[in-house]
Amino acid sequence: AQSVTQPDIHITVSEGASLELRCNYSYGATPYLFWYVQSPGQGLQLLLKYFSGDTLVQGIKGFEAEFKRSQSSFNLRKPSVHWSDAAEYFCAESDSWGKLQFGAGTQVVVTP
Amino acid sequence: SAVISQKPSRDICQRGTSLTIQCQVDSQVTMMFWYRQQPGQSLTLIATANQGSEATYESGFVIDKFPISRPNLTFSTLTVSNMSPEDSSIYLCSVPTAANTGELFFGEGSRLTVL
């Protein structure tokens, strides 16, 4: 069965520091992978996606993610976080029918 | 991109009552998805709503509890029936951006609190 694992439920990071959020997927040789962000009181916004090709994917708001097939991982990174990056981040994978399976989410807190 | 409007944005409901959530999309789409996000939890797919046919429900969700309508290609409703406090959640409508890749646009959600 398809599953997405986000090992870190909660991460605290200082403003200006780097951020890495972990994600492991379990489905498919050619997965469709996504990172979404949910800010307080707002809907879900797509940060970036991976379908194929270059394994380093650039997204919005300065985020990037790297697809590593050998590790079944799709970790999200940002070199320098801003206070506005405080939010819940969801990794997701699509199956062949186009349905999204979400990870449990990682809550990011940014301290001054 | 698609613009998705959901109503109501939030509501407080009494146990045993039912509430219908509306989802309006600014373009025609074949599939619409309804997700639930319980407090502190991730998103779980409730059902897929296709225009002209009955909705397809995921394991653990049934039509009697979550009836769905899809009268046209831009509109859908989800009803949460006979609500209990366990139904307190954010309910999100979403539509795909490209065929069979899973990339979705989401509405801002409807936050329901059941007392």
CA atoms of A10 and B100, how far apart (whole Å)? 31
The DSSP annotation for B23-39 comes to: EEESS--SEEEEEEE-T
Note whether A51 contacts B101, CB cutoff 8 Å. Answer: yes
Identify the pLDDT of residue B97. 81
CB burial of residue A76 (10 Å; 0-12, 13-18, 19+): buried
Residues 2-21 of B with CB under 8 A from A: none
Residue A53 lies in a domain: yes
Q: Output the CA torsion B23→B24→B30→B31 (10° steps).
A: -20
Note whether B106 contacts A99, CB cutoff 8 Å. Answer: no
Tokens 């999204």 belong to which residue? A100
- Cα separation values, A105 from A40, B13, B82, B111, Å: 14, 27, 29, 18
Quickly state the pLDDT bin for A97 (edges 50, 70, 90). low
Q: Are B96 and B1 in contact (CB under 8 A)?
A: no
How many residue pairs bridge chain A and chain B with CB atoms within 8 Å of each other? 57
Find the domain containing A60 and state its range. Answer: 4-87+99-111
Check which CATH number belongs to the domain holding A36 and give it.
Answer: 2.60.40.10
Residue A94 lies in a domain: no
Residue A92 lies in a domain: no
Per the structure, the count of domains in chain A is 1
Q: Are A31 and A24 in contact (CB under 8 A)?
A: no
Residue A52 lies in a domain: yes
Which chain B residue's Cα is nearest to A100? B102
Tokens 């939010």 belong to which residue? A87
Nearest CB to B100; choose among A46, A49, A98: A98
Residue B10 has pLDDT above 80, yes or no: yes
Residue A42 has pLDDT above 90, yes or no: no
Quickly state the pLDDT bin for B50 (edges 50, 70, 90). confident
Q: Are A31 and A55 in contact (CB under 8 A)?
A: no
Note whether B102 contacts A90, CB cutoff 8 Å. Answer: no
Tokens of B25: 């999309």
Mean pLDDT, residues A5-32 taken together = 91
Query: B59 — contact with chain A (CB < 8 Å)?
Result: no
The radius of gyration computed from the CA coordinates of chain A, to the nearest angstrom, equals 13
Nearest CB to B108; choose among A42, A93, A100: A42
